[in-house]
Amino acid sequence: MHHLDIAGLEARYGDHTVLSGIDMTVGRADVIGLIGPSGSGKSTILRVLTGLLPPVAGTVKLDGEPVNYADAAQVRRLRDRIAIVFQQYNLFQNMSVLENVCVAPVKIKKRPRKEVEEEARLLLEKVGLGDKLKRYPDELSGGQQQRVAIVRALALRPEILLLDEVTAALDPELVSEVLDTVRLLAQEGMTMLIVSHEMAFIREVASRVVFMAGGRVVEAGAPAQIFDAPAEARTRDFVSKILRH
Amino acid sequence: MSYTLQFGQIWPFLPRLLEGALISLQIAILAFCGGMLIGTVCAGIKSFGPRWLARIVGAYVVFFTNTPQLVQIYFLYFALPDMGILLSSFAAVVIGMTLNAGAYLTEIQRAGFESRRVSEMEAAEVMGFSRLQQIRYVILPHVARVLFPPLSNQFIIVTLGTSMAAVFGVEELTGEAFTINSQTFRSIEVFLVVAGLYVVLTLAASVLLALLGRVLFRVRTELI
Amino acid sequence: MLDQIIHEWPRFATWYNFIFIAKAAGMTLLLSALGCTLGTGIGLLLAVTRVTKARWLKPLRLLAFVFTEIFRRVPFLVTLMLCFFAFQATGYDVPLFVVAAVSVTVIAGAYLAEIIRGGFKSVHRNQWEAAATMNFSLIDTIRLVVLPQAWRIVLPPAFGYFVMFIKDTALASQIGVIELTYVGKVLNNKGFSAALSFGVILIVYFIISYPLSRLGAYLEARLASSRHRRA
């Protein structure tokens, strides 16, 4: 059974159709790299999957169970299993690093604070932020904030992690520290959907690459196929332009 | 609770209520315009004038913004006659409200003057604008845009404040309400209708001001 | 005017009058404090109602919207009279103080709702979204994320409103609540000159209001300089 099964997914912002019929399957421990020009709808897929933007048509199945996004209780259960990390980190500005990571497990999932904090410390240690527990988001660099955001998502113990252009807002020298963290997760077998412009990185960590344009999936396949021998002209065009940089 | 609302007796009085509303509007416009005059002069003095004069203006503003308008009008209406100055209730209300509005409008406009952006002025200077041209093309449009929303807001506050005139027997909207109430004893109905008229009056004023701001200063006001 | 006041002063400056005015000042403060605290509660409730999303809450959202719009567009005096007559119609003998307190709360609630809503809006959308994807309920989002960030934006105008509000309670004198303005009228009726009676009342209001407005200005300056800092 597929971990995530997306079929005929459509979404709109007002009158503007941003996803027109997406089909995609994600296996357990798959790392899907979503690439494509801006406005192609790749970030929108992640927003739809977490229920931030309700779809207008299509189905999403999680472990074979269809999800009804109009049902608040189902969306809540879904969000217990799928976590998202945003391009702009979206850390809570009023909370320290440790609090950002612990707040949802403790206050929402009602897990014992001691246990959660222990886990948070370990995770933060692992991404090299063990000495920043008491800092606030505005005291950290972008790369540090993004790593906190990833840890915050992991502390929710998700089955699937969605990463929305997590390096796009970072200065070039900070990109690698975040990618190292993501690479670690991939090795540990986390199911991930990664929207990114870091082609070299996608090529390295992704098990499958999906190329999107104009709200549709144009082509999907193994990284080597998409990057070296794309079947579609549009894919070829995009890949050659991106790789020339 | 066995009270049943009966508006039937109120409707014949509607023309009188509308006349009252007109007087309310008159008082509001008089007080606001007078207040703008005072406010502009005083804000100018506070921002650019000599120190001693700015102090006096400051005292005026502080006094009027820290005491109730109602008591200020009481003072004008009842205390001035002892000094030989007899004011009609209408005049006392208008003068009191003007002085009060003047104090608030001074503060609002001073804040506007001080929001001039240095970078824009520097840019204008580099582009060879004269001092007068800077004021005409850079400072005034900016100040107008910044000031328009709080000034519109103040106009609504002044309009609502005119209901105090009823306390002094002025036959504006609230005053009419008291009179009609004493003639019909349909108290709740009268005041409900009057409340509705105030909502309509201030909504109309807000909409007009928002349109005006959009046309004149390209101010985007969120109407509601 | 001045020689008249000097002439009246010995008769005016009695312990009895002092206590009379002090009690009235207490009433003014009590009304203001009630309006502000209860009004903050109601304002918060209204503001939260207006940011709900659920479709079945739409009537409630509309109600909250109409409430805030109307009570910010009806003069205090009219609201006060409406409350007064509405209580009268119930047939119960409700104390005037309660009538005034209810009107004051209703009006403060409407104004503070707008101020608080402005604060909510000042919190970046991405904070709301992050909370939503982490399964925060609306109340948890407000309590844990939004309010801790919005209070800096809310406090200065709210405080400014509180100070303004003290002066608005003067209208409670019109239904016979024995607060400062009412006492001014009583003193005037007792034969003291209007200049003295209302002059003293003006000064008492000033003594209450001025320090608070200075405190408000101080708060605003402090919060403005640290707007982007953490709590």
Residue C143 at interface with chain A, using a CB cutoff of 8 Å: no
Which residues in chain B touch residue C174, judged by CB atoms under 8 angstroms apart? 167
**Poorest-pLDDT segment among A170-174, B100-104, C82-86, C88-92:** A170-174
Confidence class of residue C231 from pLDDT cuts 50, 70 and 90?
very low
ipTM of the complex: 0.90
B62: number of Cβ within 10 Å: 17
| Cβ-defined contact of B74 to C81 (cutoff 8 Å) | no
Query: Chain A neighbours among C 47-76 (CB < 8 Å)?
Result: 54
A151, two tokens: 């840890």
Please name the member of B3, B68, B160 whose beta carbon is closest to the beta carbon of C170: B68
Which of the listed CATH numbers 3.40.630.40, 3.40.50.300, 3.40.50.720, 3.30.365.10 matches domain A4-244? Answer: 3.40.50.300
Which residues in chain B touch residue C79, judged by CB atoms under 8 angstroms apart? 195
C111 Cα distance to chain centroid: 8
Q: Which of B164, B212, B180, B206 is nearest to B17 (CA)?
A: B180
Confidence class of residue B83 from pLDDT cuts 50, 70 and 90?
confident
| CA dihedral for A215, A221, A227, A232, sign (positive or negative) | negative
Domain count, chain C: 1
Chain-wide mean pLDDT for chain A? 91
The pLDDT of residue C71 is above 80: yes
| Cβ-defined contact of B163 to C77 (cutoff 8 Å) | yes
Confidence class of residue B2 from pLDDT cuts 50, 70 and 90?
low
Please state the pTM of the whole predicted model.
0.88
User: For C10-50, how does the pLDDT look when each residue is reduced to its tens digit (9 = 90+)?
Assistant: 888 889 999 999 999 999 999 999 999 999 999 999 999 99
Burial of B63 (0-12, 13-18, 19+ CB in 10 A): middle
The pLDDT of residue A174 is above 80: no
Residue B214, pLDDT score? 87
Distance CA C111, CA C117 (A): 10
User: For A83-137, how does the pLDDT look when each residue is reduced to its tens digit (9 = 90+)?
Assistant: 999 999 999 999 999 999 999 999 999 999 999 999 999 999 988 899 999 999 9
Residue C202 at interface with chain B, using a CB cutoff of 8 Å: yes
Confidence class of residue A244 from pLDDT cuts 50, 70 and 90?
low
Which residues in chain C touch residue B199, judged by CB atoms under 8 angstroms apart? 69-70, 73-74
- What is the share, in percent, of chain C residues with pLDDT greater than 70? 97
A44 vs chain C: nearest CA distance in angstroms? 14
What phi, psi does A94 have (nearest 5°)?
A: -90, 5
Using N-to-C axis directions, what is the helix angle for B140-161 and B14-48, rounded to 10°? 140
Distance CA B67, CA B72 (A): 7
Distance CA A171, CA A140 (A): 13
Distance CA B150, CA B109 (A): 9
Distance CA C180, CA C182 (A): 5
Please name the member of C54, C127, C137 whose beta carbon is closest to the beta carbon of A92: C127
Write the CATH number for C53: 1.10.3720.10
Dihedral (Cα; C171, C177, C183, C189), 10-degree rounding = 90
What's the whole-number mean pLDDT along residues B178-196?
90
- Distances in whole angstroms, Cα of residue A83 to Cα of each of A49, A76, B75, C5: 10, 11, 66, 75
Domain ranges of chain A: 4-244
**Inter-residue contact B47 to B113 (CB < 8 Å):** yes
Confidence class of residue C226 from pLDDT cuts 50, 70 and 90?
low
| Cβ-defined contact of C184 to B195 (cutoff 8 Å) | no
Which residues in chain B touch residue C194, judged by CB atoms under 8 angstroms apart? 74-75, 78-79, 81-82
User: For C96-122, how does the pLDDT look when each residue is reduced to its tens digit (9 = 90+)?
Assistant: 999 999 999 999 999 999 999 999 999
Distance CA A12, CA A58 (A): 12
Which residues in chain A touch residue C129, judged by CB atoms under 8 angstroms apart? 52, 86, 90
Neighbours of chain A (3+ CB pairs under 8 A): C
> Could you tell me the domains of chain B?
17-217 (1.10.3720.10)
Residue C130 at interface with chain B, using a CB cutoff of 8 Å: no
User: For A30-68, how does the pLDDT look when each residue is reduced to its tens digit (9 = 90+)?
Assistant: 999 999 998 888 999 999 999 999 999 999 999 989 999
C38 vs chain A: nearest CA distance in angstroms? 26
Residue C146, pLDDT score? 95
User: For B36-70, how does the pLDDT look when each residue is reduced to its tens digit (9 = 90+)?
Assistant: 999 999 998 988 889 999 999 999 999 999 999 99
Please name the member of A90, A94, A109 whose beta carbon is closest to the beta carbon of C148: A94
Asked whether residue C231 is assigned to any structural domain, the reply reads no
Please name the member of C69, C73, C198 whose beta carbon is closest to the beta carbon of B79: C198
A45 vs chain C: nearest CA distance in angstroms? 14
Strand A208-213, strand A31-35: pairing: parallel
Asked whether residue C230 is assigned to any structural domain, the reply reads no
Residue C10, pLDDT score? 85
Residue spans of alpha helices (H) in chain C: 2-12, 15-50, 58-71, 76-90, 96-122, 125-133, 138-140, 147-168, 180-189, 194-225
Per the structure, the complete domain to which residue C203 belongs is given by 2-225
Residue C155 at interface with chain B, using a CB cutoff of 8 Å: no
The pLDDT of residue C59 is above 70: yes
Kindly identify which residue of chain C lies nearest to residue A51, measuring between CA atoms: C133
Neighbours of chain C (3+ CB pairs under 8 A): A, B
B64 vs chain C: nearest CA distance in angstroms? 9
Residue C126 at interface with chain A, using a CB cutoff of 8 Å: yes
